[in-house]
Amino acid sequence: MSLDLTAYIRDIPDFPKPGILFKDITPLLADPAALKAAVHALADPYRDANLVSVAAIESRGFIFAAAVALELGCGFVPLRKPNKLPAATTSATYELEYGTDTIEVHVDAIHPGDRVAIIDDVIATGGTAAAAVELVETLGGNLVGISFLIDLAFLGGTAKIGNYPVHSVITYN
């Protein structure tokens, strides 16, 4: 019997600002069976993909991607906020509602031809995910697909990440 993971997602109204209904994953993280089911579901599309690594977006994406990497027997590549990585990096900047933000990756984290999947907790408007795709492409990685625990489909974020296969465990329309 599979777990209904939506039962472990808590709605927090007006966070981080009025009018936003935040999907809180901390109850899912606190439950071992739900966390295990989420990791399995995120890893499923890549079981036979011969990945070299999974890349994850700071910070909640790290929680899931590290576990997915262990499950699939591949490496983990952190995509971080600026000035958090100690060696040479490349970056991608993306639009926010009011301004821009940037994520970075070590230039030697992904090699040309490496089979890579991107893992994140939530896709909303898609800016961060599009920047992650740009980083993998810039380094010459072969992006196999992108998996999200939650897709807030009503915000249209997956339209910003190109024609890569997208897998979402939970979708809110």
CA 111 to chain centre: 20
Catalytically annotated residues: 60, 97
Q: Considering all CA atoms of the chain, what is the largest pairwise distance in Å, rounded to the nearest integer?
A: 46
pTM of the full structure: 0.95
CA 16 to chain centre: 20
Residue 96: its pLDDT value, please?
77
Please report the DSSP string for 153-164 in residue order: GGG-GGGGGTTS
Phi, psi of 102 (to 5 degrees): -140, 145
| Upstream peptide bond of 2 is cis (omega within 30 degrees of 0) | no
Please list, in sequence order, all residues whose beta carbon lies within 8 angstroms of the beta carbon of residue 5, skipping any fewer than 6 positions away.
28, 34, 37, 38, 41, 149, 169, 170
Q: What averages of pLDDT result for each successive group of 10 residues across the chain (173 residues)?
A: 90 93 96 98 98 96 97 98 97 86 97 98 95 97 98 95 95 96
Instruction: Look up residue 40 and give its DSSP letter.
Output: H
Amino acid sitting at position 139 = L
Whole-angstrom distance, CA of residue 168 vs CA of residue 17 = 25
CA 117 to chain centre: 9
Residue 76: its pLDDT value, please?
98
Whole-angstrom distance, CA of residue 133 vs CA of residue 69 = 18
